[in-house]
Amino acid sequence: MTDLVVVGLAYLEVHVPAQVRPVAGEEVFVQGMQLTLGGALNTASVAAALGLTVTLCLPMGNGLADQAVTLLAQRLGITLIPLAAPDNPAISLVFSDAHDRAFVSTAALDVLTSLKRLPPSTWVHVPGLEEAARLQDPLTQAQRDGAKISVSASWSAQQLRQLSVRQGSPWDVLVLNEKEAQAACGLAHSAPQCLAHAAHSVLVTRGAQGVMGQLNGWPVDVGAAPTPVVDTTGAGDAFCAGLIAALTRGLTGDAAVRMGTRVAAKILAQTGGVVTRPDLFADLGMET
């Protein structure tokens, strides 16, 4: 029995300065571009650094990005369950600044349908509605086996529109950012009521305004932890990992959400959402 199973794709991310828009036939040089890993590895790495036992189920081939994921997972003590996929199955160009980000991505999402059953765990986290749609049967079985299900929305206009009429067993936790909540419900603050049939707990992250919503039947409204923002990529994933770690350790309500915001603040202060330093959260007052 592991604390957390994360199911999704690990992305190779190329961070491009947001203002760079080259013209066809020209080459633009910038001071630097960083390469990071991301996607499902964000939540998995943060949770592992917070002291949870973590299993990551993901499409993998034998490419350079796949090898990098394997090495980082070994360093952080994350157990990998690979699903056969083409080499480097998920790649993103990330255009970001201190305020927001945009992506151009490719991802072998349909490989997830080959996963028929999840390993035993206390929690299962899925970092996206597109992923969750392809994992409906194994997620339902995991709930029957006693696992709690956490889903973060990620951006998918079609899936967000369908969320308000979602069928099937409610997830335990659904996390959306403000833009996603607006796309799903019209008004972000109405998401806890609008999506109550989709998940028992619905939380909306609002950047510098913090997090609002409902957690285990109680309203929550927590301000963001103050931090200098270097890159917003992965902050939502880190919040989910921090929230799950807090709930696993018995925190409830505002206290659990506050821990999630403190974890997210650490990720906002770096480029990319993957933890490469196991001591990153040593000052947060949680077992690491």
Assess if residue 190 is contained within a domain.
yes
State residue 286's pLDDT score. 57
State residue 99's pLDDT score. 65
Assess if residue 82 is contained within a domain.
yes
Task: Say which CATH number the domain at 147 has.
Answer: 3.40.1190.20
pLDDT above 60: residue 288? no
Confidence label for 287 from pLDDT (cuts 50, 70 and 90): very low
Quick: pLDDT tens for 219-249. Answer: 999 999 888 888 888 999 999 999 999 999 9
Which residues, at least 6 apart from 7, have a Cβ–Cβ distance to it below 8 Å? Answer: 40, 56, 57, 58, 112, 115, 118, 124, 125, 126, 131, 135, 138
Question: How many angstroms separate the CA atoms of 125 and 154, rounded?
Answer: 13
Assess if residue 202 is contained within a domain.
yes
Assess if residue 246 is contained within a domain.
yes
This prediction's pTM: 0.92
Question: How many angstroms separate the CA atoms of 160 and 206, rounded?
Answer: 17
**Are the C-beta atoms of 101 and 94 separated by less than 8 Å?**
yes
pLDDT above 90: residue 32? no
Assess if residue 275 is contained within a domain.
no
pLDDT above 90: residue 168? no
Lowest mean pLDDT across 11-15, 78-82, 119-123? 11-15
Quick: pLDDT tens for 265-279. Answer: 999 999 889 998 878
State residue 283's pLDDT score. 86
Question: How many angstroms separate the CA atoms of 148 and 260, rounded?
Answer: 17
Assess if residue 258 is contained within a domain.
yes
Confidence label for 131 from pLDDT (cuts 50, 70 and 90): very high
Quick: pLDDT tens for 35-61. Answer: 999 999 999 999 999 999 999 999 999
Residue 193 structural domain: 2-8+38-88+108-268
pLDDT above 80: residue 285? no
Quick: pLDDT tens for 70-101. Answer: 999 999 999 999 999 999 999 999 886 656 67
Using DSSP, state whether 73 is helix, strand or coil. helix
Assess if residue 20 is contained within a domain.
no
pLDDT above 90: residue 6? yes
Assess if residue 187 is contained within a domain.
yes
Instruction: Record the tokens describing residue 60, joined without a space.
Output: 């993998």
The domain tally of the chain equals: 1
